[in-house]
């Protein structure tokens, strides 16, 4: 682990589920809310970096942020609604996904700027949405699927078959995951790192002046890219291996403790 005393940090990026929001309480701990207020009072930019869609952020709407990296970097917007970047998944990959699911048992969701739709509501799908405290999306109309504007897909398959699936079915896209249940699929080359680069350019901040908190596999690129990458105590092992520091879990004030440890607040 790398310990950096009194770093000059101008922006901090936060994953949502398992980082800002507890899976146990479905709330943001008060210590985290207080820490974010202190960051912003010091003029440090506070930016969300999530695999969620831009329209599923109600759980954190009571907290003031300076920007939102959503769809794992595929859609970046300021708090006043200015869209800095928007990347659509290759249409042929979406069509391949639909065709594959017609002949093989596969649950998936398609995420758009203004909606999310699923192809079926299996117990695994229902359980996943319950886990992140979101309503189960409506079933998509198979006769009228919009393949032209998909920002992210979720595919419910195991890590052991993910590589082959992506290579043969969605070769123009990138998969990442924070749970064994499903993988997030985004346009090729898109990641939370890309989102951070976009916001650094927007705010005139260098990567050496950034810090990030996460807990899942889709947070690896941003923890590697930022000056200080913090893994939550509840993070998966792959993220802990590359983190500069491992803090307490979300339910034990992990964010506040790490910000204090590094002299940020």
Whether residue 256 sits in one domain with residue 180 = no
Parallel, antiparallel, or unpaired for β 210-214 and 11-14? parallel
Q: What is the pLDDT of residue 5?
A: 55
CATH number for the domain harbouring residue 30: 3.40.50.1000
Per the domain annotation, does 6 fall within a domain?
Answer: no
Chain segment 125-184, per-residue pLDDT in tens = 888 888 788 889 999 998 999 999 999 999 999 999 999 999 999 999 999 988 888 899
Range of the domain at 18: 11-86+190-261
The C-alpha atoms of residue 265 and residue 263 are separated, in whole angstroms, by: 6
Give the pair of three-digit tokens for residue 124.
Answer: 């695994």
Termini Cα distance of the chain: 20
Whether residue 142 sits in one domain with residue 80 = no
| pLDDT mean over 200-217 | 97
Longest dimension (CA), the chain: 58
Number of domains present in the structure of the chain: 2
Per the domain annotation, does 3 fall within a domain?
Answer: no
30-68 in b/e form (b: 16+ CB < 10 A) is ebbbebbebbbeeebbbbbbbbbbbebbebbeebebbbb
> How much of the chain, in percent, has pLDDT values that exceed 90?
86
Q: What is the pTM assigned to this prediction?
A: 0.91
């Amino acid at each position: 682990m790398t310990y950096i005393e009194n770093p000059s940090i101008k922006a901090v990026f936060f994953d949502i589920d398992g980082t800002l929001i507890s899976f146990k309480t479905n709330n943001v701990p008060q210590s985290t809310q207080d820490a974010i207020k202190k960051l912003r009072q010091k003029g440090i930019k506070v930016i969300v970096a999530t695999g969620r869609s831009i329209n599923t952020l109600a759980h954190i709407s009571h907290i003031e942020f300076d920007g939102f990296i959503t769809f794992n970097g595929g859609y970046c917007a300021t708090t006043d609604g200015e869209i800095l970047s928007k990347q659509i998944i290759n249409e042929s990959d979406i069509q391949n996904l639909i065709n594959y699911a017609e002949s093989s048992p596969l649950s998936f969701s398609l995420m758009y700027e203004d909606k999310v739709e699923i192809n079926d509501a299996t117990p695994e799908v229902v359980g996943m949405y319950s886990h992140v405290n979101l309503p189960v999306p409506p079933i998509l109309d198979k006769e009228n699927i919009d393949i032209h504007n998909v920002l992210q897909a979720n595919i419910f398959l195991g890590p052991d078959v993910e590589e082959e699936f992506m290579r043969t079915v969605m070769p123009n896209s990138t998969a990442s995951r924070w749970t064994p249940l499903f993988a997030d699929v985004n346009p090729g080359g898109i990641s939370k790192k890309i989102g951070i680069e976009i916001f650094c350019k927007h705010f005139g901040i260098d990567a050496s002046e950034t810090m990030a908190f996460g807990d899942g596999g889709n947070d690896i690129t941003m923890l590697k890219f930022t000056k200080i990458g913090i893994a939550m105590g509840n993070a998966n092992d792959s993220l802990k291996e590359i983190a500069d520091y491992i803090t307490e879990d979300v339910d034990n004030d992990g964010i506040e403790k790490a910000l204090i440890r590094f002299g940020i607040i």
